[in-house]
């Protein structure tokens, strides 16, 4: 009889241990922000994403030019992280496209409150200096919905124009997006 009780006791213990280790593994292996370095196609840009980005391409008109930018984006912990890159092929058009990207971001948020530059000296390693490049934080309060915050940056390398953005709850502190922006760099 004791042998049967011993087996049953070990089986219960094994089941309890398995359940405990499973719950630890699930909580420890699925963090909300799982940062990874991603080398993006196009201008040789490396970005840090908190999730695995998915790429898509679509036609847009920026500064009167019909372009097909590549967008790499993912969602994690209530935020959307995105990098859009497009080769405008003409150095004379880079500034106009940078301005168009900034203006279209403002328009998408309706009437943003507190559109402020995060830093006049903000740069990405390897970028081409452009007067229209910069980083902004925008907040919008849509009617009947929670406030939205957008941290966005536009910059260029040669004829490649890039916009990096994090969109999420306006109650976020912005610290969540810092690894994303600090991880941007050109490698070739």
Each residue of 134-148: pLDDT tens digit?
Answer: 988 888 877 788 888
Higher-pLDDT residue of 151, 106: 151
Longest dimension (CA), the chain: 89
Q: If you average pLDDT over residues 164-188, what whole number do you get?
A: 85
Gap between the Cα atoms of 46 and 172, Å rounded: 25
The β-bridge relationship of strands 45-49 and 160-169 is unpaired
What residues does each domain of the chain span?
1-30, 31-186
**Predicted pLDDT of residue 75:** 93
**Predicted pLDDT of residue 142:** 76
Q: Which residues contact 69 (CB under 8 A, 6 or more apart)?
A: 57, 58, 60, 84, 85, 86
Residue with tokens 């040669």: 158
**Predicted pLDDT of residue 47:** 95
31-186 is a CATH 3.40.50 domain: no
Higher-pLDDT residue of 1, 188: 188
**Predicted pLDDT of residue 12:** 46
Question: Over the stretch 71-96, which tens digit does the pLDDT of each residue have?
Answer: 999 999 889 999 999 999 999 999 99
Q: Which of 32-36, 55-59, 99-103, 130-134 has the lowest mean pLDDT?
A: 32-36
Give the phi and the psi of residue 67 in degrees, each rounded to 5. -125, 160
Give the torsion sign (CA, 61, 62, 67, 68).
Answer: negative
**Predicted pLDDT of residue 126:** 94
How large a percentage of the chain has pLDDT more than 90? 48
């Amino acid at each position: 009889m004791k042998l049967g009780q011993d087996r049953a006791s070990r089986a219960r213990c094994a089941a309890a241990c398995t359940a405990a280790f499973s719950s630890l593994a699930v909580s420890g292996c699925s963090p909300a922000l799982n940062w990874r370095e991603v080398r993006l196609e196009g201008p040789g840009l490396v970005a840090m994403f908190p999730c695995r980005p998915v790429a898509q391409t679509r036609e847009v008109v920026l500064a009167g030019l019909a372009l097909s930018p590549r967008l790499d984006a993912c969602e994690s912990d209530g935020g959307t992280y995105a990098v859009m890159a497009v080769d405008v092929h003409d150095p004379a058009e880079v500034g106009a496209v940078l301005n168009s990207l900034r203006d279209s971001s403002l328009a998408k948020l309706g009437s943003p409150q507190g559109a402020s530059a995060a830093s006049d000296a903000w740069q990405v390693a390897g970028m081409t200096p452009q007067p229209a490049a910069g980083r902004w934080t925008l907040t919008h309060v849509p009617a009947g919905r929670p406030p939205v915050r957008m941290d966005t940056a536009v910059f260029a390398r040669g004829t490649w124009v890039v916009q990096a953005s994090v969109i999420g709850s306006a109650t976020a502190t912005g610290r969540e997006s810092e690894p994303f922006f600090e991880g941007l760099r050109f490698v070739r």
